[in-house]
Structures are given as structure tokens and as C-alpha cells.
Amino acid sequence: MNKKEGKILAVDDNADILFALKLLLKPHFELIHTSEKPENIIEMHQKENYDVFLLDMNFTKDAISGKEGFYWLSQILKHDSEAVVIFITAYGDVENAVKAIKLGASDFVHKPWQNEKLLATVSAAVRLRESRKEVNLLINKQKGLNAILAEAFDNFIGTSSEMRKVFDAIQKVAETDASVLILGENGTGKELVARALHQASKRKDDVFVSVDLGAVTETLFESELFGHVKGAFTDARADRAGRFEVATGGTLFLDEIGNLSLPMQAKLLTVLERREVIRVGSNKAKPIDIRLVCATNMRLQDMISENKFREDLLYRVNTVEIHIPPLRERGDDLILLAKHFLTIYAKRYKKNIKEISPVTFKELKQYHWPGNVRELQHAIERAVIMSDNSILQPTDFHLRKIQSAKMDDLELESYNLEKVERNVIIKVLKKYKGNVSYAAKELGLTRASLYRRMEKYDI
């Protein structure tokens, strides 16, 4: 152990004992303080924040029962729940030792002690104290994160009928452990829905782990999700838990699940069926206890027909489906969101901008928002930064213009609306070489709406 680690307070009514302890421990620990009076413990701890207490079990008032030691143990733990207390007594017995441990003591040694054993005991106690502080720090960080996420869910804005359906689905499924598949275009807030499900669940006090599967390469897939042991491959310098193990007890969010290759899908399915993982380089299975939430902007049913996605995996991940509507289908939610983001960024950048002009709102509502809420958020932030106005105007925004097909280029045989619509769809699909997502965005439709029209017109 580093000689500079560990602050120790020794409390005993025998001055000779305290002198011997100080002489023994001083070369090995950062700080050694002593006191003959246990009533000084709390005051001294407030000034120095000790890591370990060496506490006599019996003071002059009571020679053998240990009651005084138990009392001061309770006072120490009341003041500092992470405190590490080691009892020292010449009259210790098994019964008192067991009682001391049950009451919160970390260890128990007898006088006269063996120097090497006492040093080892105190060293272990210092390490225990550090571990307790680290665990408490992680717990507090998680609580803080949960509070932030809860606040984010409170700001989950929307009054449209489409969003009310989303809120209703979250409320119904959140308290269960059912697997949820969140469907929606990029930028609609799929991860926000996943976090909302976690916050409303019985697992809310545990961890939420998010994995962007679109960013995980095939070679690192198993290591990233299932973990590895030291030496499993060239860069495996230590054992490492995968995301499944880390998320045990909480929620695992797998974003962009449609990007997985078939071999990766097979490995994921095996873990979900067995509810256990095997780290790369190991043959030992580790049980997992997670709530699974997945998301994608792809049409998984179409991918199944094209043999690009496993049907049995889809059944595993979509006990319940939640569809998030694109911003262009959410009506006046756009106004609510724009005002919300304006409030946030005006405060952040210390701008005296409190309004968005009616004509600006009109233009914002006419825009098709291919990037959805995320694009709106970025547009408002940029406008706030760059604007010199007290009210945001259309000139403060630089939105991508919708490229509309010119009537002269359509070579219309008639002005029948259905024929016109069919020709426009064909032209836009050709423009994007059959990419339905891009074509739908240019036409101002959802992918589902465009597919229905393509089926209608036999395209």
C-alpha cells in the first residue's frame, strides 16, 4: 500500500495502547490521530474525515460487556454510513465479535495484537473505505442522471393526438418487463422514449445503458455487448464486462437494430433466448437480467421478406411496438417545441429573444422537417445564436428548400390528379434511385404513406 494512503483515528482509554498503535501505523499510513475520549470522535471526524476507526470495545465505565463500544459504533455510523470501524479489545469473545459485525463493524482484533496481522487488517479496511466511497459516488451519479432524465421526460412536449398515443403506450408498458420496439424516423426522439420507459419502470433506480448498433463493427460486436476476458484477443489487456452485464438490473437500449448483419442477429438472439452471456475467450455463462428496448428507422417487415432480418429475432424484440410520428404529422406540436427550444437557448446564450413571429411560424410549419425534432432544435439554436432581433424572423432561419418537380418536366398526358400523383412519385423515385426514405421526405410523406401509394399505383 502507498504510505500516503489512509487516515486513521484510534480511540482507547489506555494511553500506552494509543502510543503503540501510533508507533506501528505511522510509517504505513497518511495520518494517525489518537484520542482517549470517545466523546471526541464525531468532532474530530468532522475536521479530518477519517477512513478507518480503531475503537476500543470497553472503556472505564464498563469493563467487559462491550456496550460502550457498540454505542460509539452506532454514533460513528450515524454520522458517516461509509465509515469503516475495527474493534480492539482485550476481552473480546465470539459472541461480541458476531454482534459487532452485525451492528456494522468491519473487523475485530484482540489485544495484544500481532503487528503484521493488524497492519494487514487496517490496510484492508482502508481499501474497503475507498470502495465504499466509489460505490456511493456511482450511486449518487446514477441518481443525478435519473433526475436529469426525469426532467427531460417532463419536457417531453406534445399535445397532438399522435403524441398522446405515444404517451399512452409508454404509460401502459413501462411498469412491465416486456420488450419494446420503438419505430420512427431519424430525429423523432426514439432514445427519449426509451429513457422515458426506463424512468417510469420499476428499474428506474438502476442503470440505463444505450448502445448505437450502427456504430458497432462486426468484429467488435461480441466484445462490446457480451464482454471479454484478458487475452481473448490482441488488445484485451484486462477482463471487461459487456453492455448486457453492465445493464443487468436495469434497461438496455439497442438503437438502430436494423443495422445488424444476420450473423450478429443470430448471436443476439441466442443471448436473448438463454438470458445469459459468455464473454469472448471464456466458456463460463453469466446470467443477465435486463429490460430490452430497441429502436430502428427501418422497415423490419420488409427486411424479413428480403431475408435481411430474422423473423424470430423480431418476435423477441417487439412484444410491444411504439410508433413515433414525424414532426410534420404532429400539427401544432411544432409551435410548442419551437417555443420550448427558444426558452432554453435564449437563456443559455443570454439573448433577449422571447418570441417567434407569426410569419416565421407559418414558414416553419410549411417546411417538411426531414430531420424532425432534432433538426428543429438545431435550427432554433442557430437562429438564437445568429439573430440580432428581439423576435425571431424568417431571415434568422436557413432551412433546406424542398425541390419540387416542375410541371413542364412531367410530360403530362392529362391533368387527372391520380395520374399526376403517379408520375410525380415515379419521377422522385428515379431521382433518388429507388430510395424510398429520401423520396418520401421530398414528397412530404411518411414511408408508410408512400408505400401505400406505390401499391395503389402499382409502382
- Each residue of 343-376: pLDDT tens digit? 999 999 999 999 999 999 999 998 989 899 999 9
Identify the bridge partners of residue 8 per DSSP, sorted by sequence position.
32, 52
pTM: 0.60
Per-residue pLDDT, 405: 39
Tens of pLDDT, residues 115-126: 988 998 999 888
The domain made up of 407-456 has a fold known as Arc Repressor Mutant, subunit A (1.10.10)
Question: What grid cell was written down for 358?
Answer: 407569426
In whole angstroms, how far apart are CA 47 and each of 33, 56, 69? Answer: 12, 21, 22
Phi then psi for residue 269, to 5 deg, are -60, -40
DSSP class of residue 176 equals S
Tens of pLDDT, residues 398-414: 876 543 434 444 455 55
pLDDT at 142 over 70: no
35: three-class secondary structure by DSSP: strand
Quote the strand ranges of 25-89, DSSP E.
31-35, 52-56, 84-89
Cell 408498458 sits at which residue?
Answer: 173
Which residues lie below 8 Å from residue 326, measured CB to CB, with a gap of 6+? 184, 185, 188, 369, 372, 446
The domain made up of 161-323 has a fold known as Rossmann fold (3.40.50)
- Gap between the Cα atoms of 85 and 144, Å rounded: 29
Which residues lie below 8 Å from residue 431, measured CB to CB, with a gap of 6+? 439, 442
248: three-class secondary structure by DSSP: coil
The domain made up of 327-396 has a fold known as Helicase, Ruva Protein; domain 3 (1.10.8)
Instruction: Pick 322 or 155 by higher pLDDT.
Output: 322
pLDDT at 2 over 90: no
Give the chain's length. 459
Domain ranges for the chain? 7-133, 161-323, 327-396, 407-456
Q: What is the mean pLDDT of the chain?
A: 85
DSSP class of residue 368 equals -
User: Which residue type does 227 have?
Assistant: G
- Gap between the Cα atoms of 376 and 405, Å rounded: 25
Angle at 265 between CA 262 and CA 268, to 5 degrees: 160
- Gap between the Cα atoms of 456 and 459, Å rounded: 8
In 3D, which of 45, 43, 38, 98 has the Cα closest to residue 73?
Answer: 38
Identify the bridge partners of residue 11 per DSSP, sorted by sequence position.
35, 55
- Gap between the Cα atoms of 52 and 128, Å rounded: 9
> Measured in Å, how far apart are the chain's first and last C-alpha atoms?
74
Q: How many CB atoms sit inside 10 A of residue 458's CB?
A: 6
**Segment 306-318 mean pLDDT:** 95
Q: Return the minimum-mean-pLDDT range out of 238-247, 374-383, 418-427.
A: 418-427
Q: What is the CA 379 to chain-centroid distance, rounded?
A: 26
Question: Is it true that 327-396 and 407-456 share their CATH fold?
Answer: no
In 3D, which of 252, 271, 268 has the Cα closest to residue 260?
Answer: 268
Report, at the CATH architecture level, how domain 7-133 is classified.
3-Layer(aba) Sandwich (3.40)
- State the DSSP H helix or E strand holding residue 231, giving kind and residue range, or none if neither: none
In whole angstroms, how far apart are CA 453 and each of 208, 418, 421, 422, 445? Answer: 40, 10, 9, 8, 10
**Segment 46-64 mean pLDDT:** 78
Q: Of 31-45, 135-149, 429-443, which one has max mean pLDDT?
A: 31-45
